């Protein structure tokens, strides 16, 4: 008898291993602001805070609520990376010693009211043209700065080092930093930046996805295991169509396993035939369209495959990148879209 469920097993030792690999790329005085926005990219904000507090120097979040949650258990620096927008929120920053990013002139009036009590990171727009103060506006922010302030920017093409926009952004960032009279700290790099441009690490780096093993650099491993069990096995003759739309036809007599997991669990609906799945440590692949609660995989070549066997959709042994590359998806999106109904297990907190 089985009581099947889709499961997400999060092993924080894997996350800490990834952080060690990140550290190996950095000068020893560079600090790590571990980015744990979006529920730690699906790795549970609260557990991640407990598990990673000794491994990183600070926390990068987006929402004030996330920052306050972390503050309940950690005394490390916390940065709201997209700023806050009301005096209530600024009061909360002050009461809880939370840092905030200023990225726009429109934030100046409120920020000035709190400048004696708060620590700001000034985000400068060096070419991504999303958030950030203009290079010609920077002088208006000088009154917010002291020698613990940080000048930051964000790279648009950190994952494509050959793109010329990177050099433009580095040049603009240098120009901005040289304009400022005080000797403030600097922060430029996200995960891909740490691996592609380690000489731009400066004082703080802001890795997110690399901690969770969602980018392809040597040694990093997917920290989460997304898995479920086989609940049925079909033995089909040649030329049988399979699943919704009957999109595939068996090319030979085939054994098809039906796995208790679908797009409502967080597996991508658009996964194409051939997307890898691990069954009993053997490589199998998706055959037929992914449905809400089920996927079908070809287990013809897998010995002793039976109902109740576990299938890994991604894990330290089957990188999430195999799925995202095959299906032109983002590991960020898959990790942050894991469904609530998936049963969680947390290891090595």
Ligand X SMILES: *Cc1c(COP(=O)(O)O)cnc(C)c1O
Q: Which one of the spans 21-29, 44-52, 200-208, 264-272 is the region binding ligand X (CB under 6 A)?
A: 200-208
Decide whether 207 or 268 has the Cβ nearer to ligand X: 207
Site for ligand X in 111-140 (CB under 6 A): none
Q: Is 79 near ligand X (CB under 6 A)? A: no
In angstroms, what is the C-alpha Rg of the chain?
23
Nearest CA-CA partner of 313 in 248, 259, 349: 259
Q: Is 290 near ligand X (CB under 6 A)? A: no
Interface map 10-39 toward ligand X (x if CB under 6 A): -------------------------x-x--
CB 284 within 8 A of CB 309: no
Q: Which residue among 34, 58, 127, 208 contacts ligand X (CB under 6 A)?
A: 208
Residue 16 token pair: 């800490």
Q: How far apart are CA 250 and CA 142, in angstroms?
A: 68
Q: Tell me the angle at which helices 87-96 and 64-71 cross, rounded to the nearest 10 degrees.
A: 20
Q: Is 186 near ligand X (CB under 6 A)? A: no
Decide whether 190 or 276 has the Cβ nearer to ligand X: 190
Q: Which residue among 186, 206, 227, 289 contacts ligand X (CB under 6 A)?
A: 206
108 HSE (CA, 13 A, CB side): 13
Does the annotation place 130 within a ligand binding site?
yes
Nearest CA-CA partner of 180 in 120, 116, 270: 120
Active-site residue identified among 85, 171, 175, 244: 244
- At 24 the three-state DSSP class reads helix
Q: Which one of the spans 19-27, 90-98, 175-183, 201-209 is the region binding ligand X (CB under 6 A)?
A: 201-209
Would you please indicate which residues are annotated as catalytic (active-site) residues? 37, 244
Annotated binding site for substrate: 130, 292
């Amino acid at each position: 008898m089985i009581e099947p469920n889709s499961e997400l097993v999060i092993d924080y030792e894997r996350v800490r291993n990834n952080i060690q690999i990140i550290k190996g790329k950095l000068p020893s005085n560079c600090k790590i602001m571990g980015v744990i926005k979006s529920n730690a990219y699906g790795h549970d904000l609260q557990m991640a805070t407990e598990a990673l507090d000794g491994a990183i120097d600070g926390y990068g979040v987006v929402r004030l609520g996330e920052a306050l949650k972390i503050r309940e258990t950690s005394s490390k620096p916390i940065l709201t990376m997209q700023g806050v927008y009301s005096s209530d929120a600024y009061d909360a920053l002050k009461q809880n010693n939370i840092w905030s990013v200023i990225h726009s002139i429109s934030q100046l009036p409120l920020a000035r009211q709190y400048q004696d009590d708060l620590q700001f990171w000034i985000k400068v727009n060096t070419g991504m043209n999303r958030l950030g103060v203009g290079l010609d506006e920077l002088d208006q922010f000088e009154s917010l700065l002291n020698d613990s302030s940080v000048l930051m920017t964000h790279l648009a093409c950190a994952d494509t080092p050959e793109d010329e926009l990177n050099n433009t952004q580095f040049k603009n960032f240098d120009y901005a930093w040289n304009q400022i009279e005080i000797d403030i700290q600097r922060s430029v790099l996200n995960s891909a930046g740490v691996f592609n441009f380690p000489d731009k690490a400066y004082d703080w780096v802001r890795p997110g996805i690399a901690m969770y093993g969602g980018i392809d650099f040597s040694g990093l491993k997917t920290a989460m295991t997304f898995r479920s069990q086989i609940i049925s096995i079909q033995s089909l003759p040649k030329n049988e169509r399979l699943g919704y739309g009957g999109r595939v036809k068996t090319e030979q007599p085939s054994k098809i396993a039906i796995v208790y997991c679908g797009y409502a669990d967080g597996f991508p609906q658009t996964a194409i035939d051939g997307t890898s799945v691990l069954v009993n440590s053997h490589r199998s692949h998706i055959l037929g369209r992914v449905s809400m609660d089920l996927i079908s995989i070809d287990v013809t070549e897998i010995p002793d495959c039976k109902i109740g066997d576990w299938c890994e959709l991604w894990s330290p042994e089957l990188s999430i990148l195999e799925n995202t590359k095959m299906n032109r998806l983002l590991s960020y999106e898959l990790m942050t879209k894991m469904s609530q109904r998936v049963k969680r297990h947390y290891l090595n907190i």
